[in-house]
Chains A and B, each alone.
Chain A
Amino acid sequence: MRALTWHGKHDVRVDTVDDPEILNPRDCIIKVTSTAICGSDLHLYDGFIPTMQSGDILGHEFMGEVVETGPKSTLKKGQRVVVPFTIACGSCYHCGKHQYSACDNGLPADNQDIAQELYGQPMSGLFGYSHMTGGYAGGQAEYVRVPFSDVGPIVIPDGVEDDKVLFLSDILPTGWQAAENAQIEPGDTIAVWGCGPVGLFAVQSAFLMGAERVIAIDHFPHRLELAKKFGAETINFEKSAVYEALMEMTGGIGPDACIDSVGLEAHGFFVDNVLDQIKKSTFLGTDRIHANRQAILACRKGGRISMPAVYGGFVDKWPLGAFMEKGLTLKTGQTHVQHYMPALLNAILEGKIDSDFLISHRLPLEQAPQGYKMFHDNQNEVTKVVLKPGLAAESSIAAE
């Protein structure tokens, strides 16, 4: 089959590799019909995530048609399914509590050592996201082996197009969980750092959960426009001082909850950010946390910080004192995708959530490397690239 493989920083290629096979009783194989490039794939593309190996197949947002099933799979050939990016068994203690991304059994036993050393306990497996998260082949390919197919994938009714439901795999539940973690109360003002896909879904989710105002912060004008479309007020951090703006806009109180959906590659020419970047390049630190610092300082006293953003390792100059003195609460974590999928599928079918507005480009799988470059170089115009393995190689469709 053809698959998008990683070979190093800014080096991804479409290669021919062996087709996947059923290896465990609960497996299924799906033929991928749509698969997206995630903002977090850019962390891999930029070489920020350790334990990648040359030849690794990327991609954790995908859906397709079931073409083969193991004896314990509950799926049937021909069904269309969206696959959660978190690989969880459904039968351990954590899955029982619907903390799917904390599944005990999603990672192969040997791969658990790295995560145990770094984080204290191993987490669930993830598709296409380094060997620390299991080394599973990802979905930017013609076929994928899906473990635990009896508890992960959600079946999509006939007649619902891929683009409407594809983002159930990651960014829609991630945006939803971000808003849930912000513990929104009616009348609240919520600030969202980063108007990428997760941030924009968090904006929609926050309003659905009763937020009175949502203030979205970014520097890409097109992304700020999208946030406005969903009713958010906006701050362009290149034109305005974020803390001052937030304090003015909230009558000197600060937002009730702050959502950091930026993560370890924060942009912006700020002293702390430049220092973080120098440290990263000299191996003295790893993550750039400018947005997170801003969120803690701006948040109202006793408020909440929700952090869907991906961080990989250690940070410097994290304002722990402000965090403590102000009595803030922080909730974070990889998304418990399986927990949210059924309700969010219903919300899409009922038209409560606009789920396909993000897609700016549709490309054949063969053009995936161009897709990565476009997404990386032009984050203003390129909001989401969806790869269609079935699409003829020469055709590409830019939305609108």
Chain B
Amino acid sequence: MSEIRDARTDDAPASSAKDRHVRDEATDQLVDAKGDHVVGRAVTINKPAAELFAYFRDFSKLSSFMENVVRVDILDGSRSHWVVKAPAGKTVEWDARITEERAGELIAWVSEDGADIANSGRIEFRDAGARGTVVTATIAYDPPAGTIGKLVAKLFQREPAIQARRDLRRFKQLMETGEIATSSRTKAQLEEEKA
């Protein structure tokens, strides 16, 4: 196992550690770990934390900036049903339950038993004064076995960090500008891009 970094000489966040074990341990402390680990990304958004939290907390709106999310159905105050794009035109689904919530500060969730992909995550909103709010996403997931699992893993294992980064950028664009930037010229091109 890795040695714990010396906090006296290295203030870098654990998510940037060169040693994978350090990154994984840091993830374990943040979320209910489910298998393989991904530490997500931070983005600064020029809006107050309360406003960002409110938008994010309504999970039914997440598909507006999360590219792979087809839809999220709200089941009750703490449970939701997720339908997410997978390779080869398929989708994967799970129910998620909120495990921790502090208004304007953080939301954490974990998938319930029977999930196509076991996963957990945590979004934190930290006030950054005149610059707005630092939003940090930490996501852990566990790709299933089998052929479909391999396909899913291919998508999720290779891409989750990139996907998280792009989703956070889209969230920032939507919150700061009221829209998501596109270089498409026509509606048909835009549809193709989103598909």
Query: What is the interface of chain A, defined by CB distance below 8 A to chain B?
Result: 17-21, 23-26, 57, 72, 89-93, 96, 104-113, 125, 134-137, 145, 147-148
Asked if B178 contacts A104 (CB within 8 A), the reply is no
- Looking at the assembled complex, report how far the CB atom of B77 sits from the nearest CB atom of chain A, in whole angstroms: 31
Asked if B178 contacts A108 (CB within 8 A), the reply is no
**Residue of B131, B132, B170, B183 with highest tally of chain A CB at under 10 A:** B183
Task: Choose the segment among B91-99, B108-116, B185-193 that binds chain A (4+ C-beta atoms closer than 8 Å).
Answer: B185-193
- Tell me which residues across on chain B come within 8 A of A105, comparing CB atoms: 172-173, 176-177, 181
**Which residue in chain A gives the minimum CB-CB distance to B181?**
A108
Asked if A137 contacts B183 (CB within 8 A), the reply is yes
1/0 per residue B153-187: CB within 8 Å of A? Answer: 00000000010011101101100111111111111
Cα-based distance from A106 to B167 in the complex (angstroms)? 15
**Residue of A57, A72, A89 with highest tally of chain B CB at under 10 A:** A89
Q: Name 13 A/B residue pairs within 8 A (Cβ), A-sorted.
A: A24-B181, A89-B176, A89-B181, A91-B46, A92-B177, A93-B132, A96-B46, A106-B181, A108-B183, A111-B183, A113-B162, A134-B183, A135-B183
**Which residue in chain A gives the minimum CB-CB distance to B170?**
A109
**Which residue in chain A gives the minimum CB-CB distance to B168?**
A109
B63 at the interface (CB under 8 A from A): no
- Chain A interface helix/strand/loop/mixed: loop
Give the 3 A-B residue pairs with the shortest CB-CB distance, closest first. Answer: A109-B169, A24-B179, A135-B183
Asked if A21 contacts B44 (CB within 8 A), the reply is no
**Which residue in chain A gives the minimum CB-CB distance to B128?**
A93
Interface magnitude class on chain B: 20 to 34
- Tell me which residues across on chain A come within 8 A of B44, comparing CB atoms: 93
Asked if B186 contacts A20 (CB within 8 A), the reply is yes
Cα-based distance from A112 to B169 in the complex (angstroms)? 9
| 6 more CB-based (< 8 A) A-B contacts, given A23-B187, A24-B179, A111-B183 | A17-B185, A18-B188, A89-B173, A92-B172, A108-B181, A110-B166
- Looking at the assembled complex, report how far the CB atom of A35 sits from the nearest CB atom of chain B, in whole angstroms: 16
Cα-based distance from A92 to B169 in the complex (angstroms)? 12
**Which residue in chain B gives the minimum CB-CB distance to A145?**
B185
Asked if A148 contacts B185 (CB within 8 A), the reply is no
- Tell me which residues across on chain A come within 8 A of B177, comparing CB atoms: 26, 89-92, 105, 148
Cα-based distance from A191 to B187 in the complex (angstroms)? 49
Given the interface contacts A91-B176, A92-B176, A104-B172, does A109 sit within 8 Å of B185 by beta carbon? no
- Looking at the assembled complex, report how far the CB atom of B166 sits from the nearest CB atom of chain A, in whole angstroms: 4
**Which residue in chain A gives the minimum CB-CB distance to B130?**
A93
- Tell me which residues across on chain B come within 8 A of A24, comparing CB atoms: 179-182
Cα-based distance from A105 to B172 in the complex (angstroms)? 8
- Looking at the assembled complex, report how far the CB atom of A1 sits from the nearest CB atom of chain B, in whole angstroms: 10
Cα-based distance from A27 to B131 in the complex (angstroms)? 26
- Tell me which residues across on chain A come within 8 A of B131, comparing CB atoms: 93
Cα-based distance from A205 to B76 in the complex (angstroms)? 64
- Tell me which residues across on chain B come within 8 A of A21, comparing CB atoms: 185-187
Asked if A109 contacts B166 (CB within 8 A), the reply is yes
- Tell me which residues across on chain A come within 8 A of B165, comparing CB atoms: 113
Asked if A23 contacts B182 (CB within 8 A), the reply is yes
Cα-based distance from A96 to B44 in the complex (angstroms)? 14
Cα-based distance from A93 to B172 in the complex (angstroms)? 11
**Which residue in chain B gives the minimum CB-CB distance to A148?**
B177
**Which residue in chain B gives the minimum CB-CB distance to A147?**
B181
Asked if A136 contacts B187 (CB within 8 A), the reply is no
Cα-based distance from A92 to B184 in the complex (angstroms)? 22
- Looking at the assembled complex, report how far the CB atom of A86 sits from the nearest CB atom of chain B, in whole angstroms: 13
Asked if A125 contacts B181 (CB within 8 A), the reply is yes
Cα-based distance from A104 to B179 in the complex (angstroms)? 13
- Tell me which residues across on chain A come within 8 A of B170, comparing CB atoms: 109
**Residue of B176, B181, B188 with highest tally of chain A CB at under 10 A:** B181
Cα-based distance from A89 to B184 in the complex (angstroms)? 17
- Tell me which residues across on chain A come within 8 A of B183, comparing CB atoms: 108, 111, 125, 134-137
**Which residue in chain B gives the minimum CB-CB distance to A19?**
B186
- Looking at the assembled complex, report how far the CB atom of B165 sits from the nearest CB atom of chain A, in whole angstroms: 8
- Tell me which residues across on chain B come within 8 A of A135, comparing CB atoms: 183
Asked if A92 contacts B179 (CB within 8 A), the reply is no
**Which residue in chain B gives the minimum CB-CB distance to A27?**
B179
Cα-based distance from A26 to B173 in the complex (angstroms)? 13
- Looking at the assembled complex, report how far the CB atom of B76 sits from the nearest CB atom of chain A, in whole angstroms: 32
**Which residue in chain B gives the minimum CB-CB distance to A136?**
B183
Cα-based distance from A116 to B169 in the complex (angstroms)? 12
Asked if A25 contacts B176 (CB within 8 A), the reply is no
Asked if A137 contacts B185 (CB within 8 A), the reply is yes
Partner of A25, one of B132, B169, B179, B182: B179
Cα-based distance from A19 to B184 in the complex (angstroms)? 11
- Tell me which residues across on chain B come within 8 A of A18, comparing CB atoms: 185-186, 188
